[in-house]
Amino acid sequence: MRYLLRSVEDPSLLIPAEKAWNARTTEAAKFREMGFNVQEYLLSSLGQAAAQSMEIEQGLRGAWIGTVS
């Protein structure tokens, strides 16, 4: 499962959540320039989606577990 973030102001700006989350990426910088808090938005939105869908919840748990070293 892939999680993407799209700008409402610039619909051509569509990036994977992991790139948006990393504050050092140029993609995240584009959102910050628009005054957008990417990490806060992703946490809130993915939490809401997980509450509505067991598949999304499981996918997020798997994604998190897969990133832990």
> Could you tell me which residue, 52 or 30, shows the higher pLDDT?
52
- How sure is the predictor about 27, in pLDDT bands with cuts at 50, 70 and 90? confident
> Could you tell me which residue, 12 or 62, shows the higher pLDDT?
12
> Does the predicted model carry a pTM greater than 0.85?
no
Buried b (16+ CB within 10 A) or exposed e, 15-47: bebeebbeeebebbebbeeeebebeeebeeebe
Would the pLDDT of 59 be above 80? yes
> Could you tell me which residue, 64 or 21, shows the higher pLDDT?
21
Task: Give the mean pLDDT of 29-43.
Answer: 85
